Amino acid sequence: MGDKPAILGIDVGATGIKGTLFSPNFEIIADLGRRPTEADLGPEQAIAKMVAMLLEARPNWQGHRIALWGGNIPGPARYGEGRILRSPNLGPTWDNFGFTDALCVALNDALGYSVPGTVANDVAAAAFGEQRFGVGGGTRSVYLAAVGGGVGGGFADASGLYKGARHVCQNHIGHVYVVDPTLPYAPLCGCGKRGHMEAFTSFTSMFLAVDNALARNAATCLKDEWATTSNKGKSLMDAAKAGDAVARQILEVSAHYLAIALHNAAMEFEPDVLAVGGGVTYYEPYIGIVAREVDALFPETWTVLREETQVVFAQLKNNAGRVGGAALAMEKAGMPLPTSLPAATLNAD
């Protein structure tokens, strides 16, 4: 054991666990890879897997001491104490599980010294990373929305990540209402309510829209590959890039409702930057649609917001949650953060 400090960034999702060891300047010391979460087998085995991933990579981090860990867990959770409340993505065996305490105990047992840690929602952590190292450049305020199977959100400015009164919701923008839930066409969200943005914008919703288009025999090149493709998101966006009208319309609808929610966030939080991350960054025209629609929604009297609110794709990539989680842990511990990321970290998975 040496004494160069390393910060462990971890990401616990419904399907996979990922880990990366960073230096305090965010050079990647070791990529711990990915293991399946197997959430239905319960949280204890997932914690054990995380520790095993760290120990198996030990030859790659010789000469370092794990100083801190910072992670992402799905919510709803009381992130301040690191306790999952009830996660629909992880299942009932994770209800009321004290994640932070359990991982701290497991790391202490495995390493023989104490490693303090902290957790956040993955997109909230990514928003913090984006403010510090990405489109925020450390000074500008950033509202981030990330489009994946759901749509997460987060807001951070120079004073830090906005955490809310109970540190539970963390700007979960996917569940804001973009249409009246009593209207007959208001679609059902994964959370059980109708009219939420996520029910229009997420990849889950876009895939349903493809299914519906195929069921009514719409003319689309997706017809031949949809049942067999291993990456529906990429297939959909590739079809849109190739000019497929059905695919384009589906992405247009997704961007339209995201723009409504982001416009609302702009009116509430007045960020310098509205950033869009997640899988949709693969489809370059998406951000142009969001920017155009956010712009059109600002009332004439708020010209200053229209002119000065930037709408851009996020800069951090797939490891944004781990970078942001590690950065939040460092901030909590009073460690200074760098002003930018090394190129290899910015572009890593």
Q: Which residues bind Zn ion (CB under 5 A)?
A: 175, 189, 191, 196
In the complex, least distance from residue 198 CB atom to Zn ion, rounded to whole angstroms:
5
Residue with Cβ nearer Zn ion (132 or 175): 175
Alpha helices in 136-175 (DSSP H): none
CA distance 323 to 129: 6
Shortest separation between residue 150's beta carbon and Zn ion, angstroms: 8
CB-count burial class (<10 Å; 0-12, 13-18, 19+) for 284: exposed
Structure tokens at 333: 């511990």
In terms of CB distance, is 184 or 243 closer to Zn ion? 184
Residue 193 or 317 with smaller CB distance to Zn ion: 193
CB of 262 to Zn ion, least distance (A): 16
Phi and psi angles of residue 318, each rounded to the nearest 5 degrees, phi first: -65, -20
**Residue 33: CB atoms within 10 Å:** 13
Q: What single-letter amino acid sits at 210?
A: V
Query: Nearer to Zn ion by C-beta: 64 or 194?
Result: 194
Q: How far is the CB of 168 from Zn ion (least distance, A)?
A: 15
The nearest distance, CB 177 to Zn ion, in angstroms, is: 9
141 or 205, CB closer to Zn ion? 205
Q: What angle do CA 53, 332, 66 make, to 5 degrees?
A: 30
Q: End-to-end alpha-carbon separation of the chain, Å?
A: 28
Q: Which residues contact 221 (CB under 8 A, 6 or more apart)?
A: 239, 242, 244, 247
Closer by beta carbon to Zn ion, 152 or else 325:
152
Taking the least distance from each CB to Zn ion, the nearer of 30 and 189 is 189
Kindly state the smallest distance separating residue 278's Cβ from Zn ion, in Å: 17
Q: Give the number of other CB atoms < 10 A from CB of residue 259.
A: 26
Short-list 179, 184, 213, 215, CA closest to 198:
179
Radius of gyration of the chain (CA): 20
For residue 196, the minimal CB distance to Zn ion (Å) is 4
